[in-house]
A and B are shown apart, each in its own frame.
Chain A
Amino acid sequence: MTPPRITALFRPLALVVATAAVVALAGCGAQQGATTLDKKADVSLTWWTGQDAEANDILKELAAEFESDHPNVSIDVSPGASSTDQLLQKLSAGFAGNTYPDISYAFGSWASELESSNRTLDITDQVSEPDVKWDEFSAAARATVRPTGDKTIGFPAIVDNISLIYNTALFDDAGLAHPDENWTWDDFREAAAALTDASKNQYGYAYSVSGSEDTTWQFWPHLWQNGGAILSDDSAEATFNSQAGVDALTKLRDMAIDDKSVYLDQTDTKYGELFAAGSIAMITSGPWQLYDLNTAGTPYGVTILPGTDGDHQTVSGPDIWALFDHKDKNREYWSYELIKWLTSSDQDQRWNVAIGNLPLRTSELTSDAFAEQVANYPFLDVMAENGDNAKQARPTVSGYNGLSEAIGSAISHVLQGDGDPQEALDAAVVEANEALND
């Protein structure tokens, strides 16, 4: 027996909430746009670059240039999120709320998820045109934009790989020869032990034990060089607990626990800073490290990863420009054209190379722009050429993230002294298989 006024107050509130719910649920389909291509029609594109402020500014300039070349196209460029990690959330929310962009940067590991959203374009036909020169991209990059082999969901955006970076001063002071392209992991282990000095808090090597993708992907070269594989041929099962994997993990563990020559970083960023400070002799990292090293003035050198029986395989983690479908032929056309233009040799030199990333295309290695960058960032050319050693691609199946978590956690525990390599890897395989078959 409630007084009439109270229910009167409640009713509008309930109505507001119900309306919001209905509206939200109803707005689930994509809007319908132009169904026939009209290259002269006005088009407005949204581009989430996923880059930090500096890089974003360069892309904005390039977009402005594209706009002036094609006056009917207007491009709204923004980082999309403050760090690329968070871009995933925004894309999710964007899909659910129907506010996703036309083009977005994405980590390679999200590629299959993006494809499964059914909101990506398929540009397989377009990229087979000869003027695109698709084969100039590395094998790993091409495989990443075609995650399930079904659709090509975009262009490669940034490529990288892991090389060995070492502190020349520390080597010289200890009277040791610098690492070279003939090194084996045994040479590596010896040098790391020799360069470790607990009294000075100096370490020979560093490894991230945060359990994230950094922990995982640093492990893949070891697994591959030993002849192991991450997944079975049909990609349905994880196979990293093979003897190859166990040997690889045991060797790392021995360095960390017996030699005590490895700085175990609980985050993914500190070991780079410590290396810049001269507290760590060698790290395995990529081109992004060079900017800070040059800022800090650290005396460094770069070579390819140590090898196993002459195999110096490394891992590459390409990131992509994903193109999204808004059911509008004009937007589709211009999104494709923009990114094709951006990733062509000339523009890529003004973007990737200018910012200190590796060039996307092998044809850029001989360009002046790249030569200039090598002068600014010594040994960038070594890293670029190391791309040839990225023979296998990191898996792009959906469920890779779960697999990465599982083995990342296993590696982290073993390196910190908690657990036996075989058991840890076996347990991780169980978890990984769950994620793969979800």
Chain B
Amino acid sequence: MTTATSSAKRSRFRLPFSPWHLLLLPVALLFLIPFVQMFLASLAPAKELVTFPPPFIPSTLTLGEPGTLTKSATGYIGLFSDSPILRWLLNSFIVAVTAIASHMVFCSLAGYGFARLKFRGRTFGIFAIIATIMIPIQLLMIPTYILFAQVGLVNGLGAAIVPWLASAFGIFLMRQFFLSLPKELEESGMLDGATRWQVFFRIVLPLAKPALATLAIFTLLGSWNDLVWPLIAINNEDAFTLQLGLANFQGTRRTQWSLLMAGNVVATLPLIIFFLFAQKQFVATMTMTGLRG
């Protein structure tokens, strides 16, 4: 199905570009348009955002202005001048980097262990781990908070970080990826006298780059966009993460649409940029393994 080089299309009519563009471009636009709308809304004057429905293309584009006594802040200028968004970005960044690093280490080790190693309690272990996501998180918020409060974590960023050190998702994902790798590679490594650790680091891990990239992407996304847990866990305003800060623009009665839209764009951009780079890892690694089928 996939070919590293364009295969011969000998007797076919050749377009100057791959026919796949005809499929992918409309699909891409379909997926992108809402983001475009959000971006346009972040540049719209406030008065067009408090009505429903808001216009797709605003009548004028504006970068907004800082708040005064009688008018709220609006737009990107208002966002950066009147709200601690840079601090929120920093906090989210700290949480995300820690989460990604920690996941890559712990979850790949655990995923490999559950996939390839045989030890007592293995099946129970993986089931228990998957079982942890079967209880709706809404209900676990309060007791988890109590637990953290007792340990004194709730006044800082620690409360947001600790749950992201490892996850059932990460373990399960890596396990399934390792399961799909051909065993022969590892077995030939072990026959050559390597220990499990060496097999893991030298043979398996390099092949797992797409899997690790996937893990990084989803861990970043999860920790960056997490709202429910930081909402309950972080009391200290200085430790607010980005989503928590943005959620403050939506009061019970009044929503600051302009700041919210601008904030959402600012929140989404780093993720998109990260993905743009990370997806380069999605390149076939199994083309030259020298395996004879």
Using CB atoms and an 8 Å cutoff, list the residues of chain A in contact with chain B. Answer: 2-3, 6, 20, 23-24, 27, 46, 51-56, 78-86, 89-90, 92-93, 96-99, 269-270, 273-274, 276-279, 288, 291-292, 295-297, 354, 376
Least Cβ distance of A16 to chain B in Å?
A: 11
Of B51, B147, B232, B251, the contact of A24 (CB 8 Å cutoff):
B147
List residues 209-258 of chain B with CB under 8 A from any CB of chain A: 227, 231-232, 235-237, 244, 247-256
Which residues in B have their C-beta under 8 angstroms from that of A56?
248
Please determine whether B146 and A274 come into contact, CB atoms closer than 8 angstroms: no
Which A residues lie within 8 Å of B253 (CB)? Answer: 288
Determine if B72 is an interface residue (Cβ-Cβ < 8 Å).
yes
**Residues of chain B having any CB pair with chain A under 8 Å:** 46-48, 50-53, 67, 69-70, 72, 83, 120-121, 141-142, 145-151, 154, 227, 231-232, 235-237, 244, 247-256, 259
Chain B residue with minimal CB distance to A77? B237
Given A54-B256, A93-B142, A273 contacting B52 (CB threshold 8 A)? yes
| Docked complex Cα distance between A20 and B152 (Å) | 12
Residues of B within 8 A of A2 (CB): 120
Tell whether A52 pairs with B67 under 8 Å between CB atoms, given A96-B142, A273-B52, A295-B47.
no
Q: A82-B248, A97-B145 are in contact. Are A20 and B150 (CB under 8 A)?
A: yes
* Majority-rule SS of A interface residues: helix
Residues of A within 8 A of B232 (CB): 86, 89-90, 93
Q: Let me know if A6 and B120 touch, CB within 8 A.
A: yes
Is the Cβ of B120 less than 8 Å from the Cβ of A3?
yes
In the bound complex, CA of A296 to CA of B69 (Å): 18
B247 x A82 contact (CB < 8 A): yes
- Which residues of B are found within 8 Å of A78, using beta-carbon distances? 235-237
A274 pairs with B252, CB closer than 8 A: no
Q: Is the CB of B147 within 8 A of A52?
A: no
**29 contacting pairs across A/B (C-beta < 8 A):** A3-B120, A6-B121, A24-B146, A27-B150, A46-B235, A51-B251, A53-B83, A53-B249, A54-B72, A55-B251, A79-B248, A81-B231, A84-B252, A85-B252, A86-B232, A89-B232, A90-B231, A90-B232, A93-B142, A96-B145, A97-B146, A99-B149, A270-B52, A273-B51, A276-B51, A276-B52, A288-B253, A288-B254, A354-B69
Residues in B with CB closer than 8 Å to A51 are 251
Besides A53-B83, A53-B248, A291-B254, 5 more A-B contacts (Cβ < 8 Å) are: A20-B151, A24-B146, A53-B256, A99-B235, A296-B47
* Known contacts A52-B251, A82-B231, A93-B142; A277/B51 CB under 8 A: yes
The complex places the Cα of A67 from the Cα of B183 at a distance, in Å, of 68
Q: How far is the CA of A86 from the CA of B247 in the complex (A)?
A: 11
Residues of B within 8 A of A24 (CB): 146-147, 150
Residues on B with C-beta less than 8 A from A23 are 150-151
**A276-B50 in contact given A89-B141, A90-B232 (Cβ < 8 Å):** yes
CA A199 to CA B199, docked complex, whole Å? 71
- Supposing A52-B250, A53-B256, A54-B256 touch, asked if A292 and B146 sit within 8 A by C-beta, the answer is no
Given that A52-B250, A84-B252 are contacting pairs, would A297 and B141 also be in contact in the complex, using a CB cutoff of 8 Å? no
Q: Which residue of B lies closest to A356 (CB)?
A: B254
In the complex, the 7 A-B pairs of residues with the closest C-beta atoms, listed nearest first: A52-B251, A97-B149, A82-B247, A277-B51, A273-B52, A288-B253, A292-B50
Report the minimum CB–CB distance from A24 to chain B (whole Å). 5
Q: Which residue of A lies closest to B227 (CB)?
A: A82
Q: Which residue of A lies closest to B74 (CB)?
A: A295
Contact B52 A274 (CB under 8 A): yes
Min Cβ gap A291→B in Å is 6
Determine the distance from Cα of A107 to Cα of B145 in the docked complex, in whole angstroms.
22
The reply to whether B247 and A83 contact each other, CB–CB distance below 8 Å, is yes
Q: Which one of A82, A85, A93, A291 contacts B145 once the chains associate, using CB atoms below 8 Å?
A: A93
- In the bound complex, residues from chain A placing their C-beta under 8 Å from that of B236 are 78
- Which residues of A sit under 8 angstroms from B83, Cβ to Cβ? 53
Contact A93 B250, CB 8 Å, known A2-B120, A78-B237 = no
- B51 adjacent to A296 (CB under 8 Å): yes
A158 shortest CB reach to chain B, Å: 10
Nearest CB in chain B: distance from A159 CB, A: 13
Residues of B within 8 A of A96 (CB): 142, 145-146
Task: Report the minimal beta-carbon distance from B289 to chain A, rounded to whole angstroms.
Answer: 36
Question: Cα distance A376–B145 when bound, in Å?
Answer: 43
**Distance from B19 Cβ to chain A, minimum over Cβ atoms (Å):** 43
Contacts of A90 in B (CB 8 A): 231-232
B residues less than 8 Å from A292 (CB atoms): 50, 254
User: How far, in angstroms, from A99 to B233 measured CA to CA in the complex?
Assistant: 11
CB closest chain-B residue, reference A90: B232
Residues of B within 8 A of A46 (CB): 235
Bound-complex Cα distance A382 to B69 (A): 23
Nearest CB in chain A: distance from B126 CB, A: 16
Set of chain A residues within 8 Å of B148, measured between Cβ atoms:
97
| CB-nearest residue of chain A to B149 | A97
The CA of A53 and the CA of B83, in the complex, are separated in Å by 8
In the bound complex, what is the Cα–Cα distance between A5 and B121 (angstroms)?
A: 13
- The one of B145, B150, B154, B249 in contact with A52, judged by C-beta atoms closer than 8 angstroms, is B249
Name the distance in Å between A30's Cβ and chain B's nearest Cβ: 13
Is B51 a contact partner of A83 (Cβ separation < 8 A)?
A: no
Provide the bound-state CA to CA distance between A54 and B250, in Å.
11
The smallest C-beta distance from B210 to any residue of chain A, in angstroms, reads 32
User: Which of A84, A92, A295 contacts B46 (CB under 8 A)?
Assistant: A295
A119 to chain B minimum Cβ distance, whole angstroms, is 15
Contact in complex: B254, A52 (CB < 8 Å): yes
In the assembled complex, the Cα of A270 lies from the Cα of B255 at a distance in Å of 12
Inter-chain contacts of B227 with A (CB < 8 A): 82
**Which single member of A82, A97, A291, A297 contacts B250 (CB below 8 Å)?**
A82
Please state if A295 and B50 are interface contacts (CB–CB under 8 Å): yes
In the complex, chain A residues whose CB is within 8 Å of the CB of B150: 20, 23-24, 27, 97
